[in-house]
Chains A and B, each alone.
Chain A
Amino acid sequence: MAKVTITIDDREYEVDEGQNLLHACLGLKKNLPYFCWHPAMGSVGACRQCAVIEYMARDDTRGRLIISCMTPVRDGGVYSLEDERAQSFRAGIIEKMMVNHPHDCPVCEEGGECHLQDMTLMSAHTMRRYSGRKRTFNNQNLGPFINHEMNRCITCYRCVRYYQDYAGGRDLQALGRNQQVYFGRAEDGRLENGFSGNLVEVCPTGVFTDKTFSRRFVRKWDLQTAPSVCEHCGVGCNTAPGARDDGKGDPRKLRRVVNLYHRDINGYFLCDRGRFGYEYANSPERILQPLQADTQPLIQSTAAAGEKIHRPLPPQDAVAQLADIIEEARLGKRRLLGIGSTRTSLENNYALKTLVGPANFYAGVSAGTLQLLHLVNAIQQDPQIHSPSTPEIEQADAVLILGEDISNTAPRIALAVRQAAAEQQRQRARALDIPLWQDASVRQLDSPPTPIFIAAVEGTDLDGIARETVYATPDEIAELALEVVNQLPGAVTESQTEASDSLATQIARALASARKPLIVCGCGLQSPALLRAAAALAKALAANPVNSEGTASCALYLACADANSLGLTQLCSEQQHLEQLLSETAQENSLPSTLLAMEVDLFWQLPDEQAARILHGNQLIQLDSLYNHTSRFAQLLLPSAATPESEGTFVNSSGLAQRYYTVYEPSGYIQESWRWLANATAACAARAGGVEKIPALADMAQWQHVTQVSAAMAAGIPQLSPLSELGPDWNTLVAGAPVARQSHRFSGRTALQAEVAVAEQPPPRDPDAPMAFSMEGIQFAGYSPLQANIWAPGWNSDQAIHKFQNQPGGERAPAASGQSLRRATKVFEIQVTDTGVPKTPVNADLLTTLPLYRLFGSGELSRRARSIATVVGQAFVHLHPDDARALALCAGEQVCLPGSDTTFEVKITAVAPQRCIGISAGYSSPQAVVAMSPQDIRPFVENPQGNSS
């Protein structure tokens, strides 16, 4: 980017050409107050807060007031931020905004991290001169996630600009005019957009605040925090969870989650599942201590066959029991089989794999899912395919979404695709010399919609920005992708669209003429054929000469379900899945078997009947954070740490390994799964008389730090070797000081535990990272990427992030986390004629089953978060009107499906393929069948005949 030289208050600077002056000033780390500008949303010039003086030339002493966010930097431009007129104008703006502001900071949830507070101080407005009455509003109930307190509003319009323009929401508007502008809904009700939680951070004051946080509120400065990675889908958004121990033994220490800027993944925004899903960690269903199955069956128990009643067990006894089993297995008296998890860290999985041995380690997913994950892994190894970063997705100029409902399975990616919809407008703006940051001016431009095509199994949130949508079965969508491949050669030569073009031809033309085409697909529809077809199309596009500046690769985003889906894939072969485990345990074996299920609910991954068969006749030891269906069958239950309670590594859907850090010490006897396993191994070693006596487990028995587990993996598994560079880097400490998790204003340090003991308790030590659970240490995020409390002098709100970027919206400095897996480059061989698209089922009477995902409801952990649970709703099936008619089912009716105790509500929608039944995913165990007979769908009867007494 070309540079220009500008002078600000008599000092010269080089800044990027074409930027606005506010952006340039913030990039230079100058303190210039603003409200309506937002780094991700550009300028609109509404608040007038960022006014400065511009001089015509160096000898001009008068100058004139300009609004810096609306003024492009001019080469040779001379500006003053400190000029008295500019300063008093800015103070005047704040004073006017404050005319109606209630000054209720002491009772406002935003207080202490309020941009309005910061800007007020920065503008030096101190004396209130307005003496009239303040205008007041009635507030709305916006649902379980967000508070509404309109009297605090300073009318910067950020909320509607974010909600409508950026996130595509429709149910939040600016209403009324003059001083009475009201930001709200037409009527009370939950904000419908799946990214509504960002309003909490977008609003510069306390109009929109986090309701889940308000319930057990503390000030920002009283939270302790550390960098974390969201565990609720495969995107890998960076988060900064905040926790506080109330000192009274309440195990619910996690208070909230806020965004942690990562340019290439989440930028400034999170989805609502990621923001509000944290409450699972505070659930009353958390396992806080080891539990053991009671040998005495309870009289009148409602437990079904095989289900156990648990009672607490001292942790040392639990470790001893586990050590017994390991011992037996080591001596060949018992078979120990490990079941790993896609929702926990590489380290935990690796520890389990080490303990049980590679041959006895199974991925805790179905055969179909594991095949898909290995397919994703293989596709991503192809040199012609690259996984796009979020900024790349936002700038795509043609998009094809193949089946994956990213709004519900990889929400942050859907938000990025939504930004791509404005690409044509941006191109027109460039032609008209309108700067892209001049947001409203770009959005008003007339332009054809960006060619976004969506093939889906139901209506999606992105349909509104699509040029064409088609609703089809996964097989039909795969066929469409292959048809596009076939149309590509012709499309490259003639790009003029004609009315008679088939959809495939239209898509082919759009993709072929795009400079930055993007294909989005994923594992959601459980179709390997679809993934192969997507890969075939991406490879064909990569060979297209027009494509993206000669890089000869095509952007293909493949969504995987869980936070560590791709990570687990690195640790097991394609055959090590649960069905394989089932056949393994079903085989005649003289040895008793113990299943070690780690952070996996078999009933979530498999149909009830299969899960039950795996458990049948085998002893089960489970490590998990939440009590789930599988836990009922466990002989021994060990409490595992949730993501914010532990340190580890996730590999996201793009193959980026990211480390998350312990935010707070968990309650009770909770600890990381790997630590339970290592403890038991150490106990084994002690009994055997030393680690050298158990050579296979010698290393593991000595593991003390999670970094030792990471190092072992990095050394042993080639594609995971970048883990050694992930950090944490113990050598970068400033003067040997760790990074402080608590802010320098943290209060109550000596008082919190006073009920327990008058003497101040030493803070817990963190053996895994150079971080302290106290106020001592590095406070400044500029010194260490491990500091997740984004704070700078004068900037208490999240807006402080620009102090730690090379420029607003740029890279975090020091660099953000993440290392790409070092996977071997391998061409993904695929013949267009042989993608495994099955022919239409012979039996036309069957209904194809389709999994349907929901932001709230399809997340295994998030659906158990308190607030999310209130909006999850009932399990449902989707039917096309014709099929519903044929089945004589009405909307709202309750039905049962084979092999499931759940009742499903019938929903009828025309935006669905025919001869299919869509089934809500995550509301019940998955269905065993890919196609079901209509006779299998039975109406639910409240009191079945024969059961009545």
Chain B
Amino acid sequence: MTNPEPHSVPNPLTKNITADNVATPIDRYRENDGYCGLLKALELSPQAVIDSVQAAGLRGRGGAGFNTGLKWSFVPDQDKVPGPRYLVCNADEMEPGTFKDRLLMERDPHLLLEGMAIAAYAIGAERAFIFIRGEYFLATERLQRAIDEARAAGLLGKNIGGNRFSLDIYLHRSSGNYICGEETALLNALEGKRAIPRAKPPFPQVSGLWGQPTVVNNVETLCNLPHLISHGEEWYRQLGRHKDTGTKLFGVSGRVKNPGVWELPMGTPVREIIEQYAGGMLDGFRLKGFLPGGGSTDFLTPDHLDLAMDYDVIGEAGSRMGTGTITILDDHSCPLGLTLNLQQFFARESCGWCTPCRDGLPWVVEILTRLESGNGRAQDLDLLEELATGMGPGNTFCALAPGAAEPLLSALKYFREDFERHLQYGGCPFADDRRALLLPA
């Protein structure tokens, strides 16, 4: 999964990751400047850490792209809200097509722990939780070992680095629900309640885990902190190639020659990622479209290949950079089939709390299934569009259904012809194609 070629660009996130499938042990991690960021942070005031992270322009890598330092700064003072603070690492990586956090956790778990320690110090948390996807057995095992190593080395626990800072990190395995990736649903799940999102406001920074101020950050976001603090915000800003700063793990899956995940500067053009790193399309396949950042982002087309992978650039093109892991739609695959597959996922993973999502998504699935099997009706496409629009942002309780609507609406926009062909053809026009190429259905 790592870059097969020698790194031509700085790779602070993956510098310890080799071709061997092993977790970087603590001694090797420390030899390579490991935990220096934490020790440096402990020299600074928490506010200085927050300011530095904010100035560095680190944006949340979970998909929303919110400024991390700014997010931390919303944690109120002790006089306003007394009591403990919590840091929660969102390691519930369940976005379709996304496998970047897994790489970091399996291969370099101490990087995450160091990042968490820095974040916890900044917000004044003495307890932190890693909420990890239940299927990530290997990552769970390696993280737990890393936590034990760090504790034994005095880098976790009481009085870290001889300082007054203490931190305990707990690893919590999810029982498996996509919605747990939503930060407030994650908090409910962590508390042992039903995994349904919470209303915002109050934001978790004010009332989060057990009603106390809480920051929830993505794995990759936290992994950016050690080198950000070690080398300073100026250095970090320089890592980006476009407006956004730092490096990011980008991935490609689909019918490309070399699917995988690579650490690249923010702002790397899509074309470069697909053609250079992923090796371009497999022979006999053409790029028809792609989801730039996971299953809940809008389709883009070959026209968008020269866009920089930057939050705002992709946003302006009508999609979201999301997790930065690209899913390829090729010309032999049915766009409707891919959309149906995604909608089935979202319908199944709906927590069942709000109506447009709970009852709208299964209806979308019902329509797409009918279209795919040749039982479509002329008015179905308009109905799909209406249902998807009804799930727009603000109409639903959380971002799950709006995320599900994104690939659906954009598929209707870019691949409407293919949808209409299902009506005319009385079934999936790609089915024969698939059979001819001996492709799975």
Question: Which residues of A are at the interface with B, using a C-beta cutoff of 8 A?
Answer: 44-49, 51, 64-66, 70, 89, 92-93, 96-97, 99-100, 129-132, 135, 154-155, 157, 174, 176-181, 428, 431-432, 434, 438, 440-441, 444-447
Q: Chain B 16-31, CB within 8 Å of chain A: the 1/0 string?
A: 0000000000000000
Q: Chain B 197-228, CB within 8 Å of chain A: the 1/0 string?
A: 01101100011001110000000000000000
Nearest chain B residue, comparing its CB with the CB of A99: B359
Q: How distant is the Cα of A812 from the Cα of B438 in the complex, in angstroms?
A: 73
A180 with B352, Cβ < 8 A, contacts A444-B211, A445-B211, A446-B210 known:
yes
Nearest chain A residue, comparing its CB with the CB of B396: A48
Q: Does B138 contact A (CB under 8 A)?
A: no
Question: Are the CB atoms of A92 and B390 closer together than 8 Å?
Answer: yes
A51 with B351, Cβ < 8 A, contacts A45-B199, A93-B356, A446-B83 known:
no
Question: Are the CB atoms of A181 and B395 closer together than 8 Å?
Answer: no
Q: Does B358 contact A (CB under 8 A)?
A: yes
A434 contact set on B, CB distance < 8 A: 201-202, 207
Q: How distant is the Cα of A132 from the Cα of B365 in the complex, in angstroms?
A: 10
Question: Are the CB atoms of A46 and B363 closer together than 8 Å?
Answer: no
Partner of B366, one of A89, A132, A157: A132
Query: From residue 6 to 46 of chain B, which have CB atoms closer than 8 A to chain A?
Result: none
Query: From residue 75 to 113 of chain B, which have CB atoms closer than 8 A to chain A?
Result: 81, 83
Beyond contacts A48-B356, A96-B390: 8 other A-B pairs, Cβ-Cβ < 8 A, are A46-B397, A66-B394, A89-B395, A96-B358, A97-B355, A157-B353, A176-B352, A446-B211
B199 contact set on A, CB distance < 8 A: 44-45, 70, 438, 440-441
Partner of A65, one of B202, B351, B362, B395: B395
Q: Does B347 contact A (CB under 8 A)?
A: yes
A177 contact set on B, CB distance < 8 A: 177, 179, 195, 350-352
Give me 20 A-to-B residue pairs in the complex whose CB atoms sit less than 8 angstroms apart, sorted by A's number.
Answer: A46-B353, A46-B354, A48-B356, A70-B199, A92-B390, A93-B355, A96-B358, A96-B363, A97-B355, A99-B359, A100-B359, A130-B363, A154-B355, A155-B359, A157-B353, A179-B350, A431-B81, A432-B206, A432-B207, A441-B207
Question: Are the CB atoms of B358 and A179 closer together than 8 Å?
Answer: yes
CB distance from B249 to the nearest CB of A (A): 30
Q: How distant is the Cα of A446 from the Cα of B349 in the complex, in angstroms?
A: 29
Query: From residue 154 to 187 of chain B, which have CB atoms closer than 8 A to chain A?
Result: 177, 179
Q: How distant is the Cα of A438 from the Cα of B349 in the complex, in angstroms?
A: 26
A99 contact set on B, CB distance < 8 A: 359, 362-363
Q: Does B306 contact A (CB under 8 A)?
A: no
CB distance from A731 to the nearest CB of B (A): 49
Number of A-B contacts (CB under 8 A): 114
Q: How distant is the Cα of A356 from the Cα of B394 in the complex, in angstroms?
A: 73
Per DSSP, are chain A's interface residues mostly helix, strand or loop, or mixed? loop
Q: Does B234 contact A (CB under 8 A)?
A: no
Q: How distant is the Cα of A386 from the Cα of B226 in the complex, in angstroms?
A: 64
Q: How distant is the Cα of A841 from the Cα of B173 in the complex, in angstroms?
A: 59
B352 contact set on A, CB distance < 8 A: 155, 174, 176-181
Question: Are the CB atoms of B363 and A48 closer together than 8 Å?
Answer: no
Question: Are the CB atoms of B354 and A178 closer together than 8 Å?
Answer: no
Pairs of residues from A and B, 7 with the lowest C-beta to C-beta distance, nearest first = A446-B211, A132-B366, A96-B359, A445-B211, A181-B352, A178-B350, A446-B210
B177 contact set on A, CB distance < 8 A: 177
Question: Are the CB atoms of A47 and B355 closer together than 8 Å?
Answer: yes
A445 with B356, Cβ < 8 A, contacts A48-B397, A89-B395, A438-B199 known:
no
Q: How distant is the Cα of A181 from the Cα of B394 in the complex, in angstroms?
A: 23
CB distance from A47 to the nearest CB of B (A): 5
Question: Are the CB atoms of B348 and A178 closer together than 8 Å?
Answer: yes
Partner of A155, one of B201, B207, B358, B396: B358
CB distance from B82 to the nearest CB of A (A): 10
Most chain A Cβ neighbours within 10 Å, of B201, B351, B354, B361: B354
A432 contact set on B, CB distance < 8 A: 81, 202, 206-207
Q: Does B413 contact A (CB under 8 A)?
A: no
Partner of A48, one of B194, B350, B354, B386: B354
Q: How distant is the Cα of A154 from the Cα of B355 in the complex, in angstroms?
A: 9
Q: How distant is the Cα of A837 from the Cα of B207 in the complex, in angstroms?
A: 49
Q: Does B360 contact A (CB under 8 A)?
A: yes
Q: Chain B 365-404, CB within 8 Å of chain A: the 1/0 string?
A: 0100010000000000001001000100011110000000
Question: Are the CB atoms of A179 and B211 closer together than 8 Å?
Answer: no
Q: How distant is the Cα of A438 from the Cα of B202 in the complex, in angstroms?
A: 10
Question: Are the CB atoms of B207 and A179 closer together than 8 Å?
Answer: no
CB distance from A149 to the nearest CB of B (A): 18
A446 contact set on B, CB distance < 8 A: 83, 210-212
B363 contact set on A, CB distance < 8 A: 96, 99, 130, 132
Question: Are the CB atoms of B366 and A48 closer together than 8 Å?
Answer: no
B211 contact set on A, CB distance < 8 A: 428, 444-447
B212 contact set on A, CB distance < 8 A: 446
A49 with B355, Cβ < 8 A, contacts A178-B347, A438-B199, A446-B212 known:
yes
Q: How distant is the Cα of A177 from the Cα of B194 in the complex, in angstroms?
A: 9
Q: How distant is the Cα of A154 from the Cα of B396 in the complex, in angstroms?
A: 16
B348 contact set on A, CB distance < 8 A: 178
Q: How distant is the Cα of A157 from the Cα of B196 in the complex, in angstroms?
A: 12
Q: How distant is the Cα of A152 from the Cα of B219 in the complex, in angstroms?
A: 42
Question: Are the CB atoms of A96 and B207 closer together than 8 Å?
Answer: no
CB distance from A217 to the nearest CB of B (A): 29
CB distance from B175 to the nearest CB of A (A): 11
